[in-house]
Amino acid sequence: MPSMFKQFIFVPIFIFLMQCENDSNEDCSAVSCYAETLFIKLIDTNSGENLLENGTYSDIDFEILDENSNSVPFYLSSGTIGNYMGITIPGTPSETLKYIFKIKNKTLFSTQITVEKTGEGNSCCGIQKEVKNIVVSGTENEIAISKNTITIFFE
């Protein structure tokens, strides 16, 4: 009987321990994460045309650098706001990101984007964050913080 008693004690403990899994093995393939993105539209002041939409500029004309002169990835796309340049905000806690935008090797404008942590997130999606402030220097612009959108006006 004592051996049977040991089984009754150890079997439930073993089953309980087997249920504890390491989060590093979590399958994130079925999880959709919201990425905070900055949208930049380039508009001709005189005609009102979107300069990405009408073919004036393409992705090879642009370069975006961070404050350490590292290249920042971006993409050109279209959506409800028209054609735009998109930059995915890195998964960092609260900080100010500084970017320099160049077109055909000439500095066009610079930005300071204040990002604040809004939640802990999870192991698949990382920290929850939100753009709290955007400052643009060097060109006429319009900022819509609620939509993470910067409209740059060219003459």
Over residues 139-150, the pLDDT tens digits come to 999 999 888 899
Of the listed ranges 1-15, 20-34, 139-153, the least confidently predicted one is: 1-15
Distance separating alpha carbons of residues 72 and 112, to the nearest angstrom: 14
Which of 69, 73, 137, 133 lies closest to 109, judged by CA?
Answer: 137
DSSP codes of every residue in 9-44: HHHHHHHHHHH---GGG---TT---PPPEEEEEEEE
3-state secondary structure (DSSP) of residue 145: helix
Distance separating alpha carbons of residues 120 and 129, to the nearest angstrom: 9
Is residue 77 within 8 A of residue 87, CB to CB? The reply is no
Distance separating alpha carbons of residues 102 and 61, to the nearest angstrom: 8
Over residues 29-73, the pLDDT tens digits come to 776 666 678 999 999 999 999 999 999 999 999 999 999 999 999
Q: What is the mean pLDDT of the chain?
A: 82
Tokens of residue 41, six digits: 């539209």
Helix (H) or strand (E) holding 2: helix 2-19
Distance separating alpha carbons of residues 93 and 119, to the nearest angstrom: 10
* pLDDT higher than threshold 90 for residue 8: no
Over residues 69-95, the pLDDT tens digits come to 999 999 999 988 889 999 988 766 778
